Amino acid sequence: MQSIIKKIAIGAVLALGAATAFAAAPDPVVGTWKLNVAKSTFSPGPALKAQTRTYTESDKGITLTTVTTTAAGKESTATLTFKYDSKPSPTTGNPDFDTVAVTRVDDLTVTSVQAKAGVTVGTGKRSTSKDGKTLTFAQKGTRADGVKYDDVLVYDRK
């Protein structure tokens, strides 16, 4: 009887350890990503000079901080904290949209819907490579100035 109880206890400890390890697996997007301008496409353009995306994880969800330098040299910072629940989350610092709703497709892919004052103005698809070294963000929509865009941004992990 003692042997059976001991085996059950050991099994429970191993199962708990495996569940904890699985639950603690970080989101593959967490980290800092630098725009690879040469691999990216901007339509209609012009290309950005630079952009860095930093993703951090907390109890509130994933926080994305984007620091962008435009072709004209103007720098801006936008921030968004979201969960993969398809619900709109407020964003600051971006004139083109004020909320983003993010949905997980699989472990490496998410889709997003950007809105301004409740009206959809853009969509995106973010993919992280299996080796974790490349992030691709394809986005299309209409900017606040009325210009339509269809960009594919490629980032390298820093």
Which pLDDT score is estimated for 91? Answer: 98
pLDDT per position in the chain (158 positions), as tens?
566 655 554 544 444 444 444 455 789 999 999 999 999 999 999 999 999 999 999 999 999 999 999 999 999 999 999 999 999 999 999 999 999 999 999 999 999 999 999 999 999 999 999 999 999 999 999 999 999 999 999 999 99
Which pLDDT score is estimated for 23? Answer: 54
Which pLDDT score is estimated for 26? Answer: 85
For residue 144, how far is the Cα from the chain centroid?
A: 22
What residues contact 151, with CB distance under 8 A and at least 6 apart?
40, 41, 42, 43, 138, 139, 140
For residue 81, which of 96, 67, 50, 102 has the smallest C-alpha distance? 102
One CATH from 3.30.830.10, 1.20.120.640, 2.40.128.20, 3.40.630.10 for 27-157: 2.40.128.20
